[in-house]
Structures are given as structure tokens and as C-alpha cells.
Amino acid sequence: MSRHYLDHASISPLRSEARMAMAEWDDLGVTADPGRVHTEGRMVRAILEDARDQVATLFGVRPRQVIFTSGGSEAVNAAIAGARPERDGPMALADVEHSSVRLASARAGEVVTIPVDSFGRITPEAVEATLERCEAEFGTTPAVLHCQWANHEVGTIQPVEAVVDLCAQRAVPVQVDATAAAGQIPLQLGTVGALGVEAVSVSAHRFGGPVGIGALIVGPGVRLDPFILGGEQERGRRAGLENIRAAVGFAAVATALSDAGRIADESATARTRTDALVAAALSVPGVVAFGDRDDCLPNLVCLGIDGVEAEPVLLGLDQAGIAAHSGSSCSSETLEPSPVLEAMGVDGERSLRLSVGWSSTDDDVAAFAGAFPGVVAGLRSLRA
């Protein structure tokens, strides 16, 4: 049986550009700490800084704004921990934020929740009301406000620039989790940074880069205390020997996606395929699509399925050769309702997330369209 991978929003296969670049690095055979002054160290330093420059180009920022991390979760935690010590006031965020944002913020201190609409969107009006509530209850504005670029479960794109502009009027710094959006839609963070974004988190494996590397992109002039201590790497902003091999792969993918029109072309193809997935799913009675299907990420869709829970649907699809994911936190470790869907006011236990990527094919879509109706019908008949 052939397999069909529809879980790119979790991790996308390594692109050939990254694979080739890392193979060249391996063949180079240089082992050295880029912080050393010997010839080998200077060689590795040059390669690392070239990688930083390529990542910066993709996101429209200066190289010195890019801090390499082990991934998006570390970047989020570093941003939150680095900002907290010097500020009073709670952190403001919506329950649709990724768990790394929600949990790290809760550990840092008081959290004020921003309500969302039925699409999972943070509206400027809700942000304004939250800022006023913070001033009334705490006597101060939030220490930090979090606004993801786009939702990782339903794909809804957030009004980041409007939120940043609103917060700038009250000198409230904004941190943005862009791990779901990076590589899927064009992100020129330099423009947004000029408005007052403090930090943006991205992760390479979400768009075909290697596992184990991401970046925290800080706004111009922003200083954050390091989250990981013990060395002066990354200009004293993140201790620990840098993952040079992964940085090389990250940079190769960043360069490929910096080509004019590359992301736009891939986005258009992804949208065609997710539209086809939605059409196939909605042909089954009792299935709905969550989130804003007009203003959304092109690569993913979240479905609600009446009458069956997430896990048996995933298992049924897997038996048909299709890898998918649930909007709920369904894995080998946990099975909990999705806080994102619950914040939207919909059933957080009966959902299916499908996501495509650079390696997806029309056959993947066709396989889902052929298998999904039978899987749902079979599960409903068992329940009856």
C-alpha cells in the first residue's frame, strides 16, 4: 500500500536543497567551534554567519536580528523569559496560541486572556478591550501581548499589523509566534518590526528545513536576557555551541524560498489542494470546516466530524495509508480536547487537521477523497 502524508503542518519532509547543503558540509569535514580564533574556527564562523544572512534575507531583517535556536518552542520560551524580568504587568494572549506560548506565559506570571471570534481570530476590538481591562484590574498595561501570525490548527491568519499598531499606541511590546506561517506565506518581518514587534519565532522543519533548528528574530534595538546561560554564543543571547549543520540546511531552504515568486507559487498550489480536500470532506454529511477559509494559511484545513471522535478517524485513515493529525492534542502521549477549538466555541474533541506541503501530490488528495467517506461511515455504523 502506498502512503500519503497529510501532516506537513507538524513537520514537512526535508527539501533537497537542505539535504545537499548539509551533505556538502559533511564532506567539508571541518570540526571547530565558531567562537575560536584558529583557522578552523574562523572557517566555521564564516559559514555560520553566511547561514544567518540567508535566513535574515528570507524574512526581510538584518542578520544581527537572527538568533539561532533549537526550534520554535525554544524561540518562544526565550522570548518570554527574556522579556519578563524587567517588566511589571500580566501577559496577554488568546487561548488559540500554541501551547508553548500559553504554558511559558503561565509559568512567567499572571495571564490575561484575549477572546477570539468563531474563526479563532484575535480582533483589534478584543485587544483594545483587553488592554483597558488590564489597566483597570492591574493598574498597568500588559508586560507583553502575544499575537500568533496564523493559527496552527485552523489556519486563520491574525491581523498582526493592526494589533501591533494598536499596542504601539500604549507602548505594549508584541511577541509573534510565526512558526505556522513561515514558509507558507511571504513574511517581511522588517516592515512589521518597524511598527514595534519585539520578537518573532520561526521553526525550520515546518517548511522543509532540518529538524532541530529555528530562530528568534528580535526587533531592531530589542535586548532580551538569554534564556539559556553558560556561554557567549549568538552575541551573548543564547549559550551553547551552535548547530552548524542544521543552520546550513536552514539557510539553503531560506535561499530557495527567497527566489522571486517561490513561496507565492507553492502557496497557490497548496491552496488548490486544500480546497480539494475540503470539497471531498464536505461531501460527507455532518462535516464542517473550521476557521476562516478565505483569510487563512493555504496549506492546512481543520474539519469537524459529527458523531465520531478524532482518534478512530486518524487510525482509520492510517489503515488506508493516509497520515493526518487532529486539531485536538491527540498523540501517543495525550488525548485532550483542543483549547483552540474550545476557544472558538466548537467541539474540541471531534476534529481532523489535514496539511499539505512542498512534496504533496494530487494523488495524496485523491487518496483522502477515496478513503474518508468510508472511514467515517464505518465508524458511525459501529457507534449506531
pLDDT at 260: 82
Would you give per-residue pLDDT tens digits along the chain (384 residues)? 799 999 999 999 999 999 999 999 999 999 999 999 999 999 999 999 999 999 999 999 999 999 999 999 999 999 999 885 556 889 999 999 999 999 999 999 899 999 999 999 999 999 999 999 999 999 999 999 999 999 999 999 999 999 999 999 999 999 999 999 999 999 988 766 555 689 999 999 999 999 999 999 999 888 889 999 999 999 999 999 999 999 999 999 999 999 989 999 999 999 999 999 999 999 999 999 999 999 999 999 999 999 898 899 999 999 999 999 986 544 445 567 889 999 999 888 889 999 999 999 999 999 999 999 999 999 999 876
Tell me the domains of the chain and their CATH numbers: 4-13+261-383 (3.90.1150.10), 16-258 (3.40.640.10)
pLDDT at 331: 45
Classify 174 as helix, strand or coil: strand
pLDDT at 86: 56
Distance of CA 152 to the CA centre of its chain: 6
373 to each of 238, 286, 322, how far by Cα in Å? 49, 11, 13
What's the predicted TM-score (pTM) here?
Answer: 0.94
Q: Residue 346 has which C-alpha cell?
A: 466548537
Is residue 296 annotated as a catalytic residue, yes or no?
no
Compute the distance between CA of residue 146 and CA of residue 158 in angstroms, rounded to an integer.
11
pLDDT at 221: 85
Question: Which one of the listed residues 134, 167, 296, 330 is annotated catalytic?
Answer: 330
Beta bridge partners of 354: 301
